[in-house]
Amino acid sequence: MTERKRDRPWLMRTYAGHSTAEASNELYRRNLAKGQTGLSVAFDLPTQTGYDPDHVLARGEVGRVGVPVSHLGDMRRLFQDIPLEQMNTSMTINATAMWLLAMYQVVAEEQGADVTKLQGTTQNDIVKEYLSRGTHVFPPGPSLRLTTDMIAYTVNHIPKWNPINICSYHLQEAGATPVQEISYAMSTAIAVLDAVRDSGQVPPERMGDVVARISFFVNAGVRFVEEMCKMRAFTRIWDKVTLERYGIDNAKQRRFRYGVQVNSLGLTEAQPENNVQRIVLEMLAVTLSKDARARAVQLPAWNEALGLPRPWDQQWSLRIQQVLALESDLLEYDDIFAGSHVIEAKVDALVAECLAEIDRIQEMGGAMAAVESGYLKSQLVASHAERRARIESGEEKIVGVNVHQGTEPNPLTADLDTAIMTVDPAVEQRVVEALGDWRDRRDEPRAQEALAALKKAAAGDTNLMPATLECARAGVTTGEWAWALRDVFGEFRAPTGVSSAPVAVSAEEGSTLAAVRRKVSATAEELGCGKLRLLVGKPGLDGHSNGAEQIAVRARDAGFEVVYQGIRLTPEQIVTAAVAEDVHCVGLSILSGSHAELVPDVLERLRRAGAGDMPVIVGGIIPNADAEALRAAGVAAVFTPKDFGITEIIGRIVDEIRTAHQLDPLEVLA
């Protein structure tokens, strides 16, 4: 019997970056030495949203969820002693993708690299930012132009680079079903390809080169049979769209190319050791089927629902990949699902439903129109609400959360304060000071000339990449580049989807929601205010709005009047709105780790405004020690991912309002 040659493993990455460029560079070099075969760069929120570290909205966010890259000097230090010509680098960056790619190219040139050999990916899918992740800056039209210009530039100058990966990962995090995840991602891809085709920057005969460099970044949940079928459906639909809509005859160019990070939404704070087997199952969904196998895989760490993973935690996730690729026989076989009537039936059903939804979106005018109308966002909010309702009712079981909750003491979390990595708060001030030094040392006239040229290009219709490259070389900062484009393009606040989301849980007599409704109504009557009013606020730059939206929807359904203005607000704006709307409670949602800075600021501003007795509750990924500090500072209640019962949370909010107004406890039972 002839032994079959093993397939080459997928690229193995770890999504990483924190504190400073120097600290992240050290982490990258350590990970590469452990056998990681590609880099995946996490940028902090100011970098992602086009703010310098000294901007008011950057407060508490610098270096928290990624590395701050404010200018070319930071990019040099980030990749010091890492030969970029030999590296495959994924950069999770969207609104400022052109800027980061320009700096990456300039650093590669300084290293002496041949830029035509650079390999990697910029995420650069702005649609999913409007729908789920929230790091958008510019309106849809200008955002699509930036993406189009990048694609045209890379096809001609960096031909091995993937200038965009259509990102459905965050759609699933925001509640998307498999049909929605495929349909919305494909609709985005159609919008991008149509824009490139219609721009005239790429001749028709080279559209195959464009299609060949479009990649996807997907999510894989724990329902791994369904997830694997989803990937096969993705493959089939992409082949159909690129052949029929764009006439790409070369089957190799039509190949569906994707990377994956498995689902972080399903990672639990309760019994976090169970996350390891979840991660393994989710990885199998995108590796078992050879015909739909991922090109690159990055796995979250077991403790990401607790806080920032340590290097050891990330190493554990890397070893999971290495054991599967190197010890198992997975890579020795052709597709093991070929001919399975069960798999084929599921894939056929997914394809049919997705094509129908894609057609529906095209009838609306395409993905951009469906974003601006709020259709896509409202569908996701509704789907997410339905999922949360299934968890709360016990219909959807999560081990350790709503079933099998008893547990032995966990040695991994015996000391929660050391079970995660923390970022030194002093890092932010050092980064801000270094930014000032950079501005002082640069050639100021050249920087200002570069910014003026960028604005002129933005006001016209020339490709923006050359002007952006000159900005990078001239020492322009991330915030300056983004503000120059804000001046021309304006900014965009995406629809929240809250007002149009339907009631997702039963309000029948005897239900928990019905009981909470009675509690809300009785409290409002006692206070003589008509309706209780709740302000849901997202201070800082954290764009993960799923939790805030679900609280807003459930509070509305329980009878509250809800004030929710979306993401990216300063503490000052939140307090001003709370006082102006005369709300009874302020709820703050922060998942980026900036709670220690921003929540006390909100509390102090409320006191100065004469509203110090207004209860403030906080939700997010908040370590125990931080939660204790917040309560000591005056926060009424802290909720973390283990608190999955949203209706019960609304009931707790009513209790805090009653306490603040010195009303007797009110028991309203279902």
Q: Which of 136, 170, 346, 384 is catalytic?
A: 170
Q: Which of 55, 136, 538, 595 is catalytic?
A: 538
- Strand order through the sheet with 88-92: 15-16, 39-42, 88-92, 119-122, 161-162
pLDDT at 417 over 80: no
| 404 annotated active-site | no
Average pLDDT on 449-459 reads 98
> Where do the domains of the chain lie?
8-122+432-495, 159-300+309-407, 512-661
pLDDT band for 641, please (50, 70, 90 cuts).
confident
- The pLDDT assigned to 668 comes to 55
Q: What is the dihedral of CA 185, 191, 194, 195, to 10 degrees?
A: -130
For residues 533-542, b (16+ Cβ closer than 10 Å) or e, as one string?
bbbbbbbbbb
pLDDT band for 306, please (50, 70, 90 cuts).
confident
C-alpha to C-alpha distance for 353 and 346, rounded to whole angstroms: 11
- Residue 217 β-bridge partners: 167, 259
First to last CA, the chain: 68
C-alpha to C-alpha distance for 258 and 177, rounded to whole angstroms: 19
Q: Which of 71, 128, 346, 544 is catalytic?
A: 544
> Are the C-beta atoms of 567 and 543 separated by less than 8 Å?
yes
| 417 annotated active-site | no
Over the stretch 212-267, which tens digit does the pLDDT of each residue have?
A: 999 999 999 999 999 999 999 999 999 999 999 999 999 999 999 999 999 887 89
| 170 annotated active-site | yes
3-state secondary structure (DSSP) of residue 175: coil
Max mean pLDDT range (368-377, 409-418, 504-513, 606-615): 606-615
Task: Tell which wins on pLDDT, 399 or 425.
Answer: 399
pLDDT at 632 over 80: yes
pLDDT at 427 over 80: yes
Over the stretch 54-88, which tens digit does the pLDDT of each residue have?
A: 999 999 999 998 999 999 999 999 999 999 999 99
What's the CATH superfamily of 512-661?
Cobalamin-binding domain (3.40.50.280)
- The pLDDT assigned to 505 comes to 60
pLDDT band for 507, please (50, 70, 90 cuts).
low
Q: To 5 degrees, how large is the angle CA 252–CA 258–CA 263?
A: 160
Average pLDDT on 593-605 reads 94
| 28 annotated active-site | no
**Burial of residue 83 (number of CB atoms within 10 Å: 0-12, 13-18, 19+):** exposed
pLDDT band for 670, please (50, 70, 90 cuts).
very low
- Residue identified by tokens 């994707």 is 258
Task: Please give the CATH number for the structural domain made up of 159-300+309-407.
Answer: 3.20.20.240
- The pLDDT assigned to 669 comes to 46
| 584 annotated active-site | no
Of the chain, the percentage scoring pLDDT greater than 70 comes to: 97
Q: What is the mean pLDDT of the chain?
A: 93
Beta strands of 86-160 (E only): which ranges? 88-92, 119-122
Q: Which of 74, 313, 542, 557 is catalytic?
A: 542
Over the stretch 156-207, which tens digit does the pLDDT of each residue have?
A: 999 999 999 999 998 998 889 999 999 999 999 999 999 999 999 999 999 9
- The pLDDT assigned to 414 comes to 85
This prediction has a pTM of 0.91
Q: Which of 28, 130, 153, 169 is catalytic?
A: 169
pLDDT band for 1, please (50, 70, 90 cuts).
very low
**Burial of residue 522 (number of CB atoms within 10 Å: 0-12, 13-18, 19+):** middle
| 333 annotated active-site | no
Average pLDDT on 383-407 reads 91
- The pLDDT assigned to 501 comes to 60
